[in-house]
Amino acid sequence: MPKERILVVDDEQNARSALRTILAEEGYEIREAVNGEEALSLLSEFAPDLVLCDVRMPKMDGLTLLRTAKAQGSEAVFVMMTAYAAVETAVEAMRAGAENYLVKPIEVTAALLFIEKALEKKGLSREAGLLRERVRERYRLDGMVGEAPEMQAVYELVRQAALTRATVLVLGESGTGKELIAQALHEQSPRKDKPFIKVACAALSETLLESELFGHEKGSFTGAAGRREGRFELADGGTLFLDEIGEMPHSMQVKLLRALQQREFERVGGTQTIKVDVRVVAATNRDLVAEVKDGRFREDLYYRLNVVSVTLPPLRRRKGDIPALVSLFVEKYGKSYGKELRGLAPGTMNALLAHDWPGNVRELENAIERAVVLAKGPELTADDLPPSLRGPRPASRDSSSLVPGATMEQIEREAILRTLEFASGSTTRAAEILGISVRKIQYRLKEFGAEKAT
Ligand SMILES: Nc1ncnc2c1ncn2[C@@H]1O[C@H](COP(=O)(O)OP(=O)(O)OP(=O)(O)O)[C@@H](O)[C@H]1O
Ligand SMILES: [Mg+2]
Atom number of ligand 1 nearest to Cα 328: 4
Q: In this structure, which ligand is nearest to the CA of 178?
A: 1
Number of C-beta neighbours around residue 218 at 10 A: 12
Q: For position 2, what pLDDT does the model report? A: 64
Q: In this structure, which ligand is nearest to the CA of 141?
A: 1
Please give the DSSP secondary-structure letter assigned to residue 314.
P
Confidence of residue 110 (pLDDT cuts 50, 70, 90): confident
Cα(338) to centroid(ligand 2), Å: 28
pLDDT tens for 28-56 read 899 999 999 999 999 988 889 999 999 88
Which of 162, 201, 200, 166 lies closest to 184, judged by CA? 162
Domain harbouring 299, CATH code:
3.40.50.300
Atom number of ligand 1 nearest to Cα 312: 21
Could you tell me if residue 424 is left (phi over 0), alpha (psi between -120 and 50 degrees) or otherwise beta?
left
pLDDT for 210 beyond 70: yes
- Same domain (yes/no): 338, 259: no
For residue 183, tell me if it sits in a domain. yes
- Same domain (yes/no): 328, 406: yes
| Percent of the chain whose predicted confidence (pLDDT) is above 90 | 43
Confidence of residue 128 (pLDDT cuts 50, 70, 90): low
pLDDT for 130 beyond 60: no
pLDDT tens for 217-231 read 887 776 667 888 999
- 84: Cβ–Cβ under 8 A, 6 or more apart, which residues? 103, 104
- Same domain (yes/no): 175, 85: no
Q: For position 306, what pLDDT does the model report? A: 93
For residue 275, tell me if it sits in a domain. yes
For residue 139, tell me if it sits in a domain. no
Q: In whole angstroms, how far apart are CA 308 and each of 139, 280, 315?
A: 21, 11, 22
> In testing the pocket of ligand 1, which one of 139, 140, 171, 176 has its CB within 8 Å of the most ligand atoms?
176
Cα(190) to centroid(ligand 2), Å: 23
Cα(149) to centroid(ligand 1), Å: 18
Number of C-beta neighbours around residue 379 at 10 A: 16
- Same domain (yes/no): 338, 247: no
- Same domain (yes/no): 99, 197: no
Confidence of residue 123 (pLDDT cuts 50, 70, 90): confident
**What is the domain count for the chain?**
3
DSSP β-bridge partners for residue 264: 275
Work out the average pLDDT over 94-119.
Answer: 80
- Same domain (yes/no): 308, 194: yes
Work out the average pLDDT over 228-255.
Answer: 93
| Percent of the chain whose predicted confidence (pLDDT) is above 70 | 88
For residue 140, tell me if it sits in a domain. no
Q: In whole angstroms, how far apart are CA 156 and each of 110, 153, 295, 341?
A: 48, 5, 33, 34
Which residues, chain by chain, have CB under 5 Å from ion ligand 2?
Answer: 179
Cα separation, 440 vs 282, whole angstroms? 48
Helix H or strand E encompassing 154: helix 149-162
Cα(177) to centroid(ligand 2), Å: 7
Of the three residues 259, 288, 313, the one that is the final residue of a domain is: 313
- Same domain (yes/no): 171, 236: yes
> In testing the pocket of ligand 1, which one of 158, 179, 242 has its CB within 8 Å of the most ligand atoms?
179
Q: For position 140, what pLDDT does the model report? A: 54
Of the three residues 133, 161, 177, the one that is the final residue of a domain is: 133
Q: For position 400, what pLDDT does the model report? A: 52
- Same domain (yes/no): 284, 335: no
* Least confident stretch, 246-250, 376-380, 397-401: 397-401
Find the domain containing 448 and state its range: 317-453
Which residue would you say has higher pLDDT here, 291 or 423? 291
Q: For position 234, what pLDDT does the model report? A: 94
> In testing the pocket of ligand 1, which one of 141, 151, 180 has its CB within 8 Å of the most ligand atoms?
180
Query: Which residue's alpha carbon is at the smallest distance from atom 13 of ligand 1?
Result: 362
Atom number of ligand 1 nearest to Cα 364: 12
Domain harbouring 43, CATH code:
3.40.50.2300
For residue 416, tell me if it sits in a domain. yes
Query: Which residue's alpha carbon is at the smallest distance from atom 25 of ligand 1?
Result: 174
Work out the average pLDDT over 110-128.
Answer: 73
Please give the DSSP secondary-structure letter assigned to residue 397.
H
Query: Which residue's alpha carbon is at the smallest distance from atom 29 of ligand 1?
Result: 362
- Same domain (yes/no): 292, 166: yes
Cα(176) to centroid(ligand 1), Å: 5
- Same domain (yes/no): 115, 168: no
Cα(364) to centroid(ligand 1), Å: 10
Work out the average pLDDT over 350-369.
Answer: 92
Cα(81) to centroid(ligand 2), Å: 57
Q: In this structure, which ligand is nearest to the CA of 143?
A: 1
Going 154 to 160 to 163 to 168, the CA torsion angle's sign is negative
- Same domain (yes/no): 375, 400: yes
Distance of CA 123 to the CA centre of its chain: 18
